[in-house]
Structure 1
Amino acid sequence: MAFGALSTALLFFGTASLASAALTKHVTCPDGKNTASNAACCVLFPILEDIQENLFDGGECGEEVHESLRLTFHDAIGFSPTKGGGGADGSIITFDKIETAFHANGGIDEIVEKQKSFVEKYNISAGDFIQFAGAVGVSNCPGAPQLDFLLGRPPAKAASPDFLVPEPFDSVTTILARFRDAGFSPEEVVALLASHSVAASDHVDSSIPGTPFDSTPGIFDTQVFIEVQLRGTLFPGNGSNPGEVESPLLGELRLQSDHDLARDSRTACTWQSFANNQSKMQREFKAAMLKLSLVGQKKAHMIDCSEVIPKPQSLKTRAHLPAGKKMTDIEQACAKAPFPSLTAESGPATAVPPVPPS
């Protein structure tokens, strides 16, 4: 290259680098201790500190986290091109007297009441707060991905119609049709169910509140995709309830919908693909959650404030069979590939304690 051409190239590179630096320059927020690439994101830092301390019990991955994560879904899935609903717009808080009365939203009134007080305290829309709290809450769970968060949802205009939230006793066909109506593929449905790795039930069987869906509550790992594939042998509480089927572990609750999706030809291979692949589960859950958080919204009108979401701790455990289980206890459902070969934990048969109330 001639010297003149090289000088021009270097000048262009230097100009491009300066332009790139200018684009990524952070502003100092009014609190004097935080910075953001967009000043509009500064309003989130005091909310972050408040909810970590006063909603999530000092940054725990506990009951309020799984209830907040549940709320992100129940608010956002309230959307249909034909039936109405604003999607991830906060209507479940704004019109709580209507939406918390829906059967599928049973028990969600408690987290709605807790979150409503924060919405009233800060200058933030209910839709933004629900998705922000969900992303922050997940960050408290070791092994979770750092979720994206976009700011700028306008206030909800109306309540969501009833019967848009899938229920655990719905058939796979019904569940997939509901998600398809809202714009989600079967693969994305399964990816969203990674949330069940940190979930617990208070209302499927009300005799045993805080019953986890897998043996590692509070840790975002692939165990739920392994354990749902195990043959069920018992119920954790007073017997079969609508939406519940037998679980393989003492103290663990299995949803009928999880059981069926893990064994249906339309979803079984996707389900199995997460069983021993933490990075794939993180990646696809993160993408599906971003899509969920934008249902009914205009992304071009929003501000990316993902940098405010804390980075979760890395996972320190490995995929395994629960103690007392063997590979022969796996009910193989994917016709395209064998289930990953796993070893069982040592010791007495695994029993899962309830998630303590916060």
Structure 2
Amino acid sequence: MHTSQFLAVLLATSSVQAIGMPSSLSSAFSRRQDPAPVPAPSLAVLDSSPAAPVPAPDSAVPAVPAPTSDAPIPDPAVPVPAPDSAMPSPAEPAPSPPAPIPAPDSPAASPDAETPSGDGLIGADPAVGPDADTKKKPKPILPILGGQPPIGGQTPTGYEPPVGIRNGICPPIWNKISRDLTPLFLENGQCNDLARGAIRAAFHDCGAYKLSLGFNGGCDGSLFLAPQELERQENGGLRAVVPVLGRLAQKYGVGMADFFQFAGAHAVKSCPLGPTVQVFVGRRDSAQPNPEGLIPNPRSPGNALVKLFEEKGISPTELAALIGAHTAAKQRIFDPATAGTPLDSSVGIWDVKYYQQVLQRTAPFILPSDAALAKTAATAPAFRSFASSQGGWSAAFSPA
């Protein structure tokens, strides 16, 4: 199943009580199998608690030129509320709900993008970079939002779609949050420590999930609402940023789970070259701690990481795309002696130098898990491909 398929059901489904888990991994990562993919509003970011540096070999891999761009970076996309109409059976065509609302100052979608005429389809991926080789097709999340169970899953007894699903208008508060977050996430034109913390927090709130848990675990705001989660070693590098994000969510009066996912997506877009990651709102918050042992360990071998993410519904190629978020990461607790060392040489820019420098072993700091994924059979081809294609990586990351 595609990561985009996975996360969209997660985030989008979490917004629906039909997927009543904690929510993107949306009230939780929602279970889906391979029919049509779903857009992924949540961002998944691997544990950036770095590992001991990997020594550079005698011969480095030939350098791959990193793409650059002087284009201004628009503000991130505003979340799209889920439509509320009752959904037809999968065999019947789904009605076209209102189109997603673009973020302020965002460029219009590409004119040749595959967008249905009339009312747009909620769940369509945003336009990707000019060097992406394929157009993104709308993803059918509407049956799930209308109350039908996810493929291979069951809807809890007595489920009723949440009130307001039929309202296709994005709540104005998210426009204000977007405007307020932009200056908080930028410093000298690049994404800063609060932005990278928001990206990592978005994954850690969602990542404690696997398909076998059903409607338990995942994106539910428990990273803030269940304080004991921050006491876990895996979340050690988040103890400063999570309280800041939690207080911001309370200030705006929005859901904690929704805020973590929106802030993470906004932080990605705030970084120069960062892609748009579509976000749905409506997840259900929980103060119940998520299960332990489901966040990736930076010392894990590649095959173990592939297995861990497949249990969450994330493919090896999607994992290779998601790990690229380390382009904006710093190690803080893995090696206290070098705390604050970035994982690539352009940590404030969302570029592919991370992939290039891990392959070349020239990065300022390399986690053992990153080095392992660069050479593990299941992930290495995509890892190498992303090193030479900013557009290809963006196209793979956004729906993952």
TM bin (shorter chain) = 0.5 to 0.7
Residue number among 271, 274, 289 corresponding to 1:159 in the alignment: 289
Determine the C-alpha separation between the residues in 1 that align with 2:196 and 2:373.
21
Determine the C-alpha separation between the residues in 1 that align with 2:119 and 2:300.
48
Determine the C-alpha separation between the residues in 2 that align with 1:221 and 1:58.
17
Within the alignment, does 1:138 sit opposite 2:268 as a pair? Answer: yes
Q: CA deviation at 1:50?
A: 2.3
Residue number among 349, 356, 365 corresponding to 1:219 in the alignment: 349
Deviations 1:273-295 (A, max 9, x none): 1111111100001011xxxxxxx
2:90 aligns to what? none
Report which of the two structures shows the higher radius of gyration computed on alpha carbons.
1
Within the alignment, does 1:82 sit opposite 2:212 as a pair? Answer: yes
Within the alignment, does 1:270 sit opposite 2:343 as a pair? Answer: no
SS of the counterpart of 1:254?
coil
- In structure 2, the gaps of 5 or more residues are 1-95, 97-115, 121-166
Deviations 1:255-314 (A, max 9, x none): 0000011011121111101111111100001011xxxxxxxxxxxxxxxxxxxxxxxxxx
Within the alignment, does 1:124 sit opposite 2:236 as a pair? Answer: no
Within the alignment, does 1:286 sit opposite 2:398 as a pair? Answer: yes
**Aligned amino acid, residue 98 of structure 1:** Q
Residue number among 144, 160, 174 corresponding to 1:44 in the alignment: 174
> Quick check: 1:75–1:87 contact (8 Å CA) kept in 2?
yes
Moved more, 203-212 or 279-288: 203-212
Determine the C-alpha separation between the residues in 2 that align with 1:281 and 1:121.
35
Determine the C-alpha separation between the residues in 2 that align with 1:187 and 1:22.
34
Q: CA deviation at 1:60?
A: 4.3
Determine the C-alpha separation between the residues in 1 that align with 2:375 and 2:192.
29
Q: CA deviation at 1:78?
A: 1.1
Determine the C-alpha separation between the residues in 1 that align with 2:256 and 2:189.
21
Determine the C-alpha separation between the residues in 1 that align with 2:290 and 2:194.
23
Within the alignment, does 1:53 sit opposite 2:53 as a pair? Answer: no
Superposition RMSD on alpha carbons, in Å?
Answer: 2.3
Q: CA deviation at 1:151?
A: 1.1
Could you say if the C-alpha distance between residues 277 and 60 of structure 1 is closer, same or farther in structure 2, counting changes exceeding 3 Å? Answer: closer
Q: TM-score, normalised by structure 2?
A: 0.56
**Aligned amino acid, residue 378 of structure 2:** R
2:195 aligns to what? 65
Residue number among 337, 352, 355 corresponding to 1:207 in the alignment: 337
**Aligned amino acid, residue 87 of structure 1:** G
Q: CA deviation at 1:176?
A: 1.4
**Aligned amino acid, residue 294 of structure 2:** L
Determine the C-alpha separation between the residues in 2 that align with 1:93 and 1:56.
23
> Quick check: 1:52–1:59 contact (8 Å CA) kept in 2?
no
2:373 aligns to what? 261
Deviations 1:321-344 (A, max 9, x none): xxxxxxxxxxxxxxxxxxxxxxxx
Q: CA deviation at 1:170?
A: 1.1
1:91 aligns to what? 222
Q: TM-score, normalised by structure 1?
A: 0.62
- Give the number of aligned pairs: 239
**Aligned amino acid, residue 86 of structure 1:** G
**Aligned amino acid, residue 220 of structure 2:** D
**Aligned amino acid, residue 70 of structure 1:** R
Determine the C-alpha separation between the residues in 2 that align with 1:156 and 1:181.
22
Structure ranking higher on relative contact order (CA contacts 8 Å, 6+ apart): 2
1:100 aligns to what? 230
Moved more, 124-133 or 55-64: 55-64
1:111 aligns to what? 241
Q: CA deviation at 1:65?
A: 1.0
Could you say if the C-alpha distance between residues 22 and 230 of structure 1 is closer, same or farther in structure 2, counting changes exceeding 3 Å? Answer: closer
Task: From the two aligned structures, give the one with the greater helix fraction.
Answer: 1
Deviations 1:142-184 (A, max 9, x none): 1111111111111125210111101100122221121111111
Identity in percent: 30
Determine the C-alpha separation between the residues in 2 that align with 1:76 and 1:58.
30
**Aligned amino acid, residue 91 of structure 1:** S
> Quick check: 1:86–1:156 contact (8 Å CA) kept in 2?
no
> Quick check: 2:190–2:272 contact (8 Å CA) kept in 1?
no
Q: CA deviation at 1:199?
A: 1.1
**Aligned amino acid, residue 137 of structure 1:** A
Q: CA deviation at 1:59?
A: 7.1
Which residues in structure 2 correspond to 1:166-181 (within 5 Å)? 166-181=296-311
**Aligned amino acid, residue 191 of structure 2:** C
**Aligned amino acid, residue 333 of structure 2:** H
Determine the C-alpha separation between the residues in 2 that align with 1:285 and 1:191.
5
